[in-house]
Every structure is written in C-alpha cells, then in structure tokens.
Amino acid sequence: MSHLKFIATTTFGLEATVKREVQRLGFENITVYDGAVYFDGDETTIPKANINLRSSDRVLLIIGQFKAFSFDELFEKTKALNWQDWIPKDGNFIVTGKSIKSQLYSVPDCQSIVEKAIIENLKKKYKINWFEKTGAKYKIQVSILKNEATLTIDTTGDALHKRGYRSSAVIAPLKETLASALIELSFWKKDRVFLDPTCGSGTIPIEAAMIAKNIAPGISRRFISENWGNIPKEVWKDAKIKAYSEIDINFKPEIYASDIDPKAIEIAKHNAVNAGVDDCILFETKALKEISLKNDYGVCICNPPYAERMGELKDVENLYKDMGKIFRKNKTWSFYTITSHENFEKLYGKKADKKRKLFNGNVKIDYYQYFGAKPPKSN
Ligand SMILES: C[S@@+](CC[C@H](N)C(=O)[O-])C[C@H]1O[C@@H](n2cnc3c(N)ncnc32)[C@H](O)[C@@H]1O
C-alpha cells in the first residue's frame, strides 16, 4: 500500500494555485489537468493533504485508471483492481459517476456495473455473498473522460471548504477554499497590513490570519477516511500533532475587517473566535466610503456584492466607485477584488494590472488585481 496516487480536485481556474500547495507540502510526480492536480504519495499523504490543503476541494485516492469502450471492459478492469486493500467486509460503499465525451455515456449504467464489479472482487476475498454495509463509508467515483475511466475513493467527506469555524454566515458567503486562493494569488505577505472592507462573515480575513499564523485549515475537523480501519490511528494522530506544533502562536498579523452591516460583524467575530484568530483581526462596523488608509503598503482583498438582484445595482456601482476613490489615491496599497460586474474597471476608474477568470459557485467572476508599489526591503 506504500505507493499511492491521488487527485486534489479544484475549482476551475485554481489548478496552478493548488499545484503550488501540493508542491509545498512535498508531494511528488505532480501533473495538472482541468480541475485536478495529480500527485503521488503513501498512506501518510491522506491526513497530510486533507489537513493542510487550503484551496483544493477534496482529495481522491486513485484505485485505477484504464481505457473502457464497453461495459464488459469496464466490469472486468474494475473487478481486477485492489478494492480488497481498502474496503473491509462491512464497508458501506456507494458509487457515483460522471461521463464526458465517452462511448459509455450512461452514468447510471456505469455506476451499477462498477458496483457489481467491486462486489465480485470483495466476494472473493471475504467469501460471502451479501454485504451488510454497516461499517465505515467509502464514496467511490467512476469518472470517464474521453473513454478513460478513473476509479477513486474520496478520502475527504465533507468538502475541504468546510473548515468548521464558520458556524453562521451572511448571505452569499465566500467558500473558504476560494478565499484562501484569492490570498495565495495576491502579493500579500504576513508582515503586510491586510484589509477586507466588505468582510461579511469574515471568511477572507480569517483565512489570511490562519495563513499568517500557519494554522492548518483542516486542523479542527474530521475526514471520512479517519474511520477507515486500514489507516493506523497513529498516522492521523501524528499528522495532527505536527500541524499543531507548526502553529506560530506568537505571530500577530495586522488584519482589519469591516462591513456596513453590524450583524455581519457580530457573525465574523464569532467565526474568528471559532478559528482561533480573534486576537489578530480588528473588526469594525463601517461603510467602505468611511475607510481611510492609515498605513502604507497594505493589501486589500475583498468580495463585495455583485448586485445579482435588481434594485441593488446603483448601490453596488457607487460602492465600486468609492473603492476607486480610496485605493487609487494611495500608490503603495494593492487592491484585489472579485465581481461578475462587467464594468468594474470603468467604475473603479482604472484598468486592472491583472485579471483572472474564476468561478464563485456557478457564477463566472473576474479577479481584478491592482498592484501597489513594492514595500522597501527590511534589513
Ligand atoms: C458578498 S458579501 C461578503 C461575503 C464574505 N466574503 C463572506 O465570506 O461572508 C458582501 C458584503 O458587503 C457588505 N457591504 C455592502 N455594501 C457595503 C458598503 N457600502 N460598505 C461596507 N460593506 C458593504 C455587505 O453587508 C456584505 O456583508
């Protein structure tokens, strides 16, 4: 079981960000495809990747990959894989599927064939005909792309954006994984001032504080594979102890977060306490237009409303104009924002230095990036 292959799944546009994270964690043989970063590892990779990846959605364990042009081929090749190494006699396994540009296009048929093939494989090992499925959960996926089938088991369970600290949220909260990716894509370093003036439930500043203090995103949650019998409990324990030992408890980043809505600030404060970073974020109820930039070389990353609903457009456009008025004035500040509004740059009053296409859920957005002057090097 020592040589294993994995996929860290990503939202469209975040592949390079997740690849960098996978590299930083020391995993090898990395290849990138749309929405997926492949890498090699062993059983210790399962806790390490799940606990530490900030921008990936989930970590899948690859059981096999092969060409499949017929149901017979899918059945036989699936049956021949090492399911018995992973699924115990009482394993509660379910199969989901997807098929894109492939001869085997009926997903329900593919799922049921894969399930039958796995049962045949397990029957041989356990010498039983009926599986009670009363034990740990195994979420298997058959994914067929251009006639190449990839069979995986999900090691994550609840997706990785569910860190566990956000007990309540405002309308339209940002996924924690996307918030973290926006920070990773910026030039912010932990010694620079950070600001989110439309912080809502606090996701972006909380993720920034966790990065600054090196708090692993999955440190206080559980993962589906923690219940798998064949990964020794020690492996999980060691990965968690390591993550705790790497927290920089004494580092206090300078992070400011504000919102016009006092209820949002109440929620954000509560979430920051849950995340263990309330000591380094200064929350304030404040309209964006009241912000004055006191320090130099700060970085603002925000997720303002986009006005998906009629009637809000004027307010949102005025908000974007106010952003321009405040942040264009100070040439040392860097300003980053996401929105689906096509005329953002015009309203802000300046063309972005860089623009990146991303998705916030199903909504196509642009990540507008305005780079301020580089801070002087400290000696
Ligand atoms: C899309 S939400 C932000 C969600 C946040 N990133 C999260 O994860 O919860 C936009 C936020 O902008 C705030 N907002 C709207 N107009 C504002 C203004 N003029 N000044 C400051 N905040 C404003 C709203 O109250 C709302 O909380």
Residue 379 above 60 pLDDT? no
Task: State the pairing for strand pair 194-196/255-259.
Answer: parallel
Q: Distance between CA atoms of 176 and 207, rounded to whole angstroms?
A: 7
Atom of ligand 1 nearest to the CA of 288: 20
* Cα–ligand 1 centroid distance for 119 (angstroms): 50
Comparing 129 with 365, the larger pLDDT belongs to 365
Q: Are 339 and 365 in contact (CB under 8 A)?
A: yes
Domain 176-220+246-370 has CATH 1.20.140.10: no
Q: Which of 170, 256, 281, 358 to mutate to test the pocket of ligand 1 (most atoms within 8 A of CB)?
A: 170
Is residue 319 a contact partner of residue 356, using CB atoms and an 8 Å limit? no
Which residues sit opposite 368 in a β-bridge?
337, 355
β-sheet bridge partners, residue 327:
none
Query: Which residues on adjacent β-strands are paired with residue 96?
Result: 141
Please give the single-letter amino acid code of residue 243: A
| Closest ligand 1 atom number to CA of residue 261 | 25
Mean pLDDT, the chain, integer: 95
Question: 176-220+246-370: same fold as 4-154?
Answer: no
Ligand 1 atom closest to the Cα of residue 201 is 9
Residue 156 near residue 58 (C-beta atoms within 8 A): yes
What whole-number distance in Å separates Cα of residue 163 and Cα of residue 271?
A: 11
Q: Which atom of ligand 1 is nearest to the CA of 287?
A: 20
* Sign of the four-CA dihedral 213, 219, 221, 225: positive
Residue 94 one-letter amino acid = I
CA of 286 to the centre of ligand 1 (A): 11
Work out the burial of residue 93: count CB atoms within 10 Å of its CB; fewer than 13 is exposed, 13-18 middle, 19 or more buried. Answer: buried
Q: Which residues contact 25 (CB under 8 A, 6 or more apart)?
A: 48, 49, 52, 53
pLDDT tens for each residue of 319-333: 999 999 999 999 999
Q: Take atom 12 of ligand 1 and give the residue whose Cα is closest.
A: 198
Beta-ladder partners of 100: 145
0.75 surpassed by pTM: yes
pLDDT at position 308: 66
Residues with CB under 6 A from ligand 1: 169-170, 172-174, 197-198, 200-201, 203-204, 259-261, 264, 287-288, 303-305, 319
**Rounded to 5 degrees, what angle do the CA atoms 113, 116, 120 make?**
135
> Which residue's CA lies nearest to atom 7 of ligand 1?
173
What is the Å distance from ligand 1's center to 9 Cα? 28
Task: Report pLDDT digits (tens) over 13-65.
Answer: 999 999 999 999 999 999 999 999 999 999 999 999 999 999 999 999 999 99
pLDDT of 309: 65
Q: What's the CA-to-centroid distance between 288 and ligand 1, angstroms?
A: 9
Report the SS3 class of residue 256.
Answer: strand
Q: Give the distance (Å) from ligand 1 centre to CA of residue 262.
A: 11
Would you state the structure tokens that stand for residue 315, as one six-digit string?
């307010």
DSSP summary character for residue 76 = H
In 3-state terms the chain splits into helix, strand, coil percentages (rounded to 5) of: 35, 25, 40
pLDDT for 325 equals: 97
Query: Is residue 111 over pLDDT 90?
Result: yes
- Which residue out of 198, 290, 336 has the highest number of ligand 1 atoms within 8 Å of its CB and is therefore the one to mutate? 198
179-225 confidence digits (pLDDT tens)? 999 999 999 999 999 999 999 999 999 999 999 999 999 999 999 99
Tokens (6 digits) for 37: 């970063």
Among 178, 203, 260, which residue has the most ligand 1 atoms within 8 Å of its CB, making it the best to mutate? 260
The residue nearest atom 26 of ligand 1, judged by CA position, is 200
Which of 59, 53, 62 lies closest to 22 in space, CA to CA?
Answer: 53
- List, in sequence order, every residue forming a beta bridge with 9; answer none if it has no partner: 36, 58
pLDDT tier for residue 294 given thresholds of 50, 70 and 90:
confident
Condensed to tens digits (0 to 9), the pLDDT of residues 132-152 reads 899 999 999 999 999 999 999
Nearest CA to ligand 1 atom 16: 260
The DSSP call for residue 377 is: P
Residue nearest to atom 27 of ligand 1 (CA): 200
Architecture of the 4-154 domain: 2-Layer Sandwich (3.30)
Question: In this predicted structure, what is the pLDDT of residue 347?
Answer: 98
- Ordered by start, the domain boundaries in the chain are 4-154, 176-220+246-370
Biggest alpha carbon–alpha carbon distance for the chain = 74
Q: Which atom of ligand 1 is nearest to the CA of 319?
A: 19
pLDDT of residue 168: 84
107 to 218, 311, 315: CA distances (angstroms): 32, 42, 45
CA of 258 to the centre of ligand 1 (A): 9
Q: Which two tokens stand for residue 278?
A: 């309330």
Nearest alpha carbon, ligand 1 atom 25 = 261
| Residue bearing the bigger pLDDT, 337 or 132 | 337
